[in-house]
Amino acid sequence: MMETADFGSPRRGNVMVIIVAALFAVLFLRLYQLQLFYHEELGKQSEENSIRTFVKEPIRGYVYDRNGKLMVDVGPSFTVTVIPAGFEAGNLELLSSFLQTEPQSIQDRITKGRARSRFSPVKVLRDINFTALSAIEEHLFMLPGVSYEVESKRYYPTKARASHLLGYCKEITDAQLAKAGEYYRQGDVIGSAGLEASYETFLRGEKGYEYVAVNSKGQLLGSFENGKNDKRPTEGFDLVLSIDADVQAFAESLMTNFRGSIVAIDPNDGGILAMVSKPDFDPSVFSGVTPAEVWNQLNNDLEKPLFNRATMTRYPPGSTFKMLVAAAALEEGIIDENYRITCRGAYRFGNRTYKDQKVHGSTNIVEAIQKSCNVFFYQLILKVGLDNLNRYSGKFGFGQPTGIDIGEETAGLIPSVEYYDRVYGKGKWTQGYLVSLGVGQGEIGASPLQMARYAAALANGGTLRQPHAVNLVRNKQTNRMNTIEHRSGRVGISQNNMNLIREGMRRVVQEAGGTGGMARVPNITSAGKTGTAENPHGDDHSWFVGFAPFDNPKIAVAVLLENAGFGGTRAAPIGGFVIEKYLFGDVRRRMYIAPAKKDTVVKVTQAVAQ
Amino acid sequence: MNTYFKEYFDYKSLGICLALVGAGLISIYSATFDINNAANFDRQVVWTMVGFVALVVAAYFPLKTVQRLAIPLYVATLAMLLIVLIIGKTTSGSKSWFDFGGSFRLQPSEFAKVITVLAFAAFLSKTTVTIGNMKHLIVGLTIFALPMGFVLAQPDLGTSVVFFGVMVPLLYWAGASRFMFAAILAPILVAFGALLGTTAFLIAVVLSGLLLFVTRENNFAAALAFGITLAVGLSVQIVYERLPTYQRNRIATFLDPGHDPLGAGYNVLQSKVAIGSGGLLGKGYMKGTQTQLNFIPEQWTDFIFCVPGEEFGMLGASVVLILFASLLFHGIKVGELSKNKFGSMTAIGITAILATHVFINIGMSMGLMPVIGIPLPFLSYGGSSLVSNMIMVGLLMNVYANRKSY
């Protein structure tokens, strides 16, 4: 017999009550812990669980030329997305076969996206073709977590490429993503060059968000809270450029056989009318997905087609610089219109002889510009001195960025006493270094854009304007056009002195004995200056700067042809054609430009890299 | 008549029961709304009516007749459990249903619990039987062991755990000695140890040996109990190997919470999220995202507690808990008040069945218990469970009404 308690003893009844009470206490404590203590954390988790955020891509802004012609259009592009949490790994092969791509590349993107959020869609392939889109669309039911988004894709309806000016959009890189902050996510497209980059925040618009409730299988059930938290995407702003698409296309066609650049500016407001850099590229290769081969080819091409020669190069301006030396000399009272020298075809300084093209005889400042007399400027620059040269260069905007709104540009180089001291050592350089600067040779460099602005300042009688490609921005919400303010300032050259220089430039083009006769445009008076920049790496670079009409200038232009030789024969006619096209809408004469001698590409590359 | 309502009508049991059934219907409606299971709500309403009739019958059926019928019913139930094992319908890996065609299905194991309690109570309330007698104790244990074994063979781990959860308090109430409990607890301790690993197993063996030694009344019984304990511990490993994967996963998840969040732990995680996200006042009826969006699998059955937890918050969940606590305290009270041994055992047994379900189910919803898949009384969807629970409340009312008769 075992020792037992009485049946139903009161003590045992109490023990049972206590045990039940204790167990309920545990349940209550746990309830308190979950619902109050961990509420915030678990509440957030429940939201993440059941709400998927779908990004609605905005329509990127359009780009119009100055006459309202559509230059950059937008079309739909379809991007496949995957929600990492909802995607079944077993479907990877199927998905990649629909998309005709490697499973690994899809997997890599999902893995990368998962690290950011398991519940947000990751873009796995952009700009899929119609076959892939229909395959995906038809099989969505067997591909949980897979969806697609509509994004903008660029189209270029005009003949103008304007590759370097318009720039391009590209899928955001990891480095950009790290810098750009919250707005962007992996797979987004971002303006990466030219106007697309510098006006990115205007053009891109604002993404919209759609919150969709999903069930545990990741199936979409409909909008969350009737879409009251949704945000519609905001369309990007349109840009209205100062560019004339016809002139741009025409200028590009003139450069078919050349490396180099054309920049045309409206001297009255600083608006860029055309900007060409050759060789260029077809911007539409960037509109969808850029295959790595294409990108690498563009990047590795020895002629550097991605490089914007209009803003990023530094070429000695050659004789086109003579107006600046003249302006410094006249304005400082070193010479006046009556000052004459006799040119014997060469100038001796120290133990070196500096050559001229020919013997010009008795020459004043106007004739020196007209005939491009080197001897006149060799002796003049010694009188002007390095400090004055530097100061007047600054007034015309050399040696400093122009502030153009397309992003990257070079400041150029204008030597100063400090510069020579730094490079050669104090007291180890002589006035002889100065002599070649008088004719724009030597350690001096300017971009075609700087040269065009200089030409524009000479055209408008001395106002230096900030060059810009965008005139107006249209706000798509208010539909209002917003103008953009630009800097401008006087170069500070007296009317009389400016007239002397402009007269010299007029004679260059219009008078017999001028070096720029080939830039002459029928029925109109133009002005200009040719230049031939000596190039230690190969054939000389060919320059022309000019403007027209002479009395009421509407266009200023700078033309640079790499290794094309004498400025008067190649750059000058191109400048003339561009002016004519812009002023008359067409060129009604036989167009002939002597083809350039082809230098070796390697030498060009060296020159460009310099 | 007035005296009847004052003295003999157990309005408390009935009131709490109806309140819980109401809470259940509200929750099931929310959990099954807008998905393919919406018909479940209508079916549950029908089952509630069936259950109410069964409750009334159980409440007014003569208690003495219940006592007399207990053993024959028990035998019949055992037979049913055997038959269901052979021809039953397989649901989520276990054979526990009778399928009568159409939408009418019956789960005998739901009724087996209360019938086993009745049989045990009937056996122990015989004047010739005392719990202190070894032979009688073994018969009593066998009354539990047989249905428990059949249910385990289905295999339905959850229901067999309930049998165990009912047996222990009943033995306690019946007056079993400390050694008897040591002898019952020791194998469980060792079984747990076996699941956790060799070191835990050895510690459990030593502890249960000590427990048996300290409470021993004679050495032979202690040695026998220790032998059984060892045998159980060793066979657990073998049984564990034979368990279906889903149950093994559930055990593994319990032993290592946070393991495999998208597998077996997924349910618990989602259910914790649902309850936790409810906060103090809840997200509002029909507005619980976890509930409405089907994040918790089968939540109208085993995870129904998430619905009040998420949609009505701590307030709603507390109301449910308080209702259950009141019912359980009242059940114990009825057991204590009953001068009739059969009635008293029945009340305690019924209370134990309900308590085991409540603590395991709610504990599991809040991540305190392994997911062993037993319904929450009155709230979970399921006809067999609801009807058998309402029969139990009817019986409790019956015992209350007859508490003064010997």
Task: Check whether residue A507 and residue A588 sit in a common domain.
Answer: yes
Query: Does the pLDDT at position B211 exceed 60?
Result: yes
pLDDT at A607: 41
Mean per-residue pLDDT, A582-604: 68
What is the spatial distance between Cα B261 and Cα A569, in angstroms, rounded to a whole number?
78
Average pLDDT over residues A188-192: 90
Structural domain contains residue A3 = no
- For chain B, what is the mean pLDDT? 84
Chain centroid to CA A278: how far? Answer: 15
Residue A11 forms part of a structural domain:
no
Domain assignment present for A43: no
* A218 and A334 both lie in a single domain: no
Count the domains in chain A. 2
CA angle in degrees (0–180, nearest 5) for B319-A51-A217 = 90
Q: Write down the pLDDT at residue A89.
A: 83
Residue of A nearest to B267 (CA): A216
Average pLDDT, chain A: 88
Residue B329 touches partner A, C-beta closer than 8 Å: yes
Q: What is the pLDDT of residue B334?
A: 95
Say which amino acid occupies B182: A
Q: Provide the 10 A C-beta neighbour count for residue A433.
A: 15
Q: Look up the ipTM and state it.
A: 0.89
Per-residue pLDDT tens for B295-332? 676 677 888 998 898 889 899 999 999 999 999 999 99
Residues of chain B contacting residue A9, judged by C-beta atoms under 8 Å apart:
175
| The pLDDT value given to residue B262 | 45
Return the number of other C-beta atoms located less than 10 Å from residue A89's C-beta.
8
Question: Does residue B286 or residue B35 have the better pLDDT?
Answer: B286
Beta carbons within 8 Å of A174's beta carbon, 6+ residues apart: none
- Facing A4 at nearest CB: one of B175, B296, B348: B175
pLDDT for residue A53: 73
- Residue A457 pLDDT: 96
Lowest-confidence pick of A22-36, B102-116, B224-238, B360-374: B102-116
User: Which residues of A are less than 8 Å from B344 in CB distance?
Assistant: 7-8
Q: Please determine, for residue B117, whether its predicted confidence score (pLDDT) is greater than 90.
A: yes
Question: Across residues B34-43, what is the average pLDDT?
Answer: 70
What's the pLDDT score for residue B120? 94
Which has the higher per-residue pLDDT, A100 or B329?
A: B329
What pLDDT shows up at residue A26? Answer: 95
Summarize pLDDT for A199-251 with one digit per residue, the tens.
999 999 988 888 777 765 566 777 766 776 778 888 999 999 999 999 999 99
Sign of CA dihedral B18, B20, B23, B29: negative
Contact B317 A35 (CB under 8 A): yes
* A225 and A252 share one domain: no
- A vs B, Cβ pairs < 8 A, gives 154
A319 and A237 in a single domain? The answer is no
Calculate mean pLDDT across residues A253-275: 94
Beta strand pairing status for A70-82 and A122-125?
antiparallel
Calculate mean pLDDT across residues A539-545. Answer: 92
Judged by CB atoms closer than 8 Å, whether chains meet at B277 and A8 is answered as no
Token code pair at residue B118: 């009745």
Q: How far is B180 from chain A (nearest CA, A)?
A: 9
Q: How confident is the model at residue A598 (pLDDT cuts 50, 70, 90)?
A: low
Confidence of residue B100 (pLDDT cuts 50, 70, 90): low
- Are residues A66 and A215 both part of a single domain? yes
pLDDT band at A605 (very low <50, low <70, confident <90, very high): very low
DSSP helix/strand/coil, A264: strand
Residue A25 belongs to a domain: no
The CATH number linked to A331 is 3.40.710.10
Query: A194: domain range?
Result: 52-241
Of A154-168, A244-258, A262-276, A480-494, least confident by mean pLDDT is A480-494
More confident residue, A117 or B145: B145
Shortest distance between the Cα of A113 and any Cα of chain B, in A, equals: 19
Do residues A442 and A553 both lie within one domain?
yes
* Judgement on whether residues A147 and A281 belong to the same structural domain of the protein: no
Q: For residue B331, give the chain A residue with the closest CA.
A: A17
- Provide the CATH number for the domain around residue A198: 3.90.1310.10
Tokens of B27: 């929750």
Residues A400 and A454 in one domain: yes
Q: Is B390 on the interface with A (CB under 8 A)?
A: no
Span B321-348, average pLDDT: 94
Lookup: tokens for A519:
């830039």
B362–A27: do the CB atoms touch at under 8 Å?
A: yes
Run of H or E including A545: strand A541-548
**pLDDT of A3 over the 60 cut:** no
CB contact under 8 A, A4 and B276: no
Q: In a mutagenesis test of the B interface, which of A50, A217, A229 is the best target, namely the one with the most B β-carbons within 10 Å?
A: A50
Judge whether B307 and B371 are in contact, CB under 8 Å: no
CA distance, residue A124 to nearest chain B CA (Å): 24
pLDDT score recorded for residue A21: 96
What confidence score (pLDDT) does residue A1 get?
41
Taking an 8 Å cut-off on Cβ atoms, the answer to whether A35 and B362 are in contact is no
Instruction: Say what the pLDDT of residue A543 is.
Output: 95
- Same domain membership, residue A256 and residue A192: no
How high is the pLDDT of residue A601? 39
Q: What is the pLDDT of residue A609?
A: 39
Residue B254 has pLDDT above 60, yes or no: no
Answer yes or no: do A49 and B289 touch at CB < 8 A: yes
pLDDT of residue A308 exceeding 60: yes
Are A133 and A270 found together in one domain? no
Residue B337: burial class (beta carbons within 10 Å; 0-12, 13-18, 19+): middle
Residues A218, A141: one domain? yes
pLDDT at A610 (0 to 100) = 39
- Residue A466, both tokens: 């900030």
Dihedral pair phi/psi, residue A171, rounded to 5°: -60, 135
Q: Are residues A217 and A271 in the same domain?
A: no
